Amino acid sequence: MATISLSTIEQGIDTTADTVIRNESYFSDLDGLAGDGDFGTSLATGFKVIKKDLPDLDKSDIGTMLLKISMIVSKHVGGSSGPIWGTGFMKAAMPTKGKSELTLQEFADAIGNAVDGIMARGGAKLGDKTLLDAVIPVAEKLKDHAEKGTEDLAEVLKDCATIADGAVETTRSLVAHRGRASQVGERSANTPDPGIVAIATILADWCKANSVEYTPAAPEVAKASA
């Protein structure tokens, strides 16, 4: 049975911090196309703290580590991203408390719990042109692989990265219905959502960190992960 260890999740968080910090300006530039242009800076501010504190965080179990990260995000990430990303980490922490490794099913359950929490906190749903348009299909793909009993985690990761990358293009023409971008109405159409680009870039970088061959199709993700 394929399992995901605490150290693998820690590595994923560290890689995520690198992705966010490296793209601070670029993610803000993307946000400025239809939003207020602070997404990259808001997210990077919190993940710089995570990057610094991660080696010394309580890692007695996966849930404890994720809860500590949710607290950092909630405290240090500004704008609407703080509550959304903080809630995601907090809800993922709940079913993983006391566990030092997760089956693929348990990991899928944790991500599903995070999605439910984000939807409840922000009020967004699939099709509103938010990061959920990437995260919800990824969560569903994880569930599918878990139910099939997929043993190859590289295959799972590549599939998830492909789905998130595809969401950049499929949502590009949509009008945003949540977040600051929703306030500009039709102007948000034909622009990429920075949250979706961020999720897709994080997954692309996870592929790279785990030596999984993957090439993003969306130009924004290709640029951010280069």
pLDDT at 177: 53
User: Which ranges constitute the DSSP H helices of the chain?
Assistant: 6-22, 24-32, 39-53, 62-76, 81-93, 104-122, 132-148, 153-170, 194-209, 219-225
**CA–CA separation, 180 and 84 (whole Å):** 14
Q: Say if CB 160 and CB 139 are below 8 A apart.
A: no
**CA–CA separation, 108 and 140 (whole Å):** 8
Q: Say if CB 85 and CB 27 are below 8 A apart.
A: no
pLDDT at 84: 96
How distant is the alpha carbon of residue 59 from its chain centre?
21
> What value does the CA radius of gyration of the chain take, rounded to a whole number of Å?
16
pLDDT at 175: 77
pLDDT at 181: 46
Identify the residue whose tokens are 């595809």.
Answer: 166
**CA–CA separation, 43 and 205 (whole Å):** 17
Give all domains of the chain, ordered by start, each with its CATH number.
3-225 (1.25.40.340)
Query: What percentage of residues in the chain have a pLDDT greater than 70?
Result: 94
Q: Say if CB 96 and CB 110 are below 8 A apart.
A: yes
Stated pTM of the model: 0.94
Residues of the chain short of pLDDT 50, as ranges, are 181-185
**CA–CA separation, 44 and 29 (whole Å):** 13
pLDDT at 184: 44
**CA–CA separation, 88 and 43 (whole Å):** 14
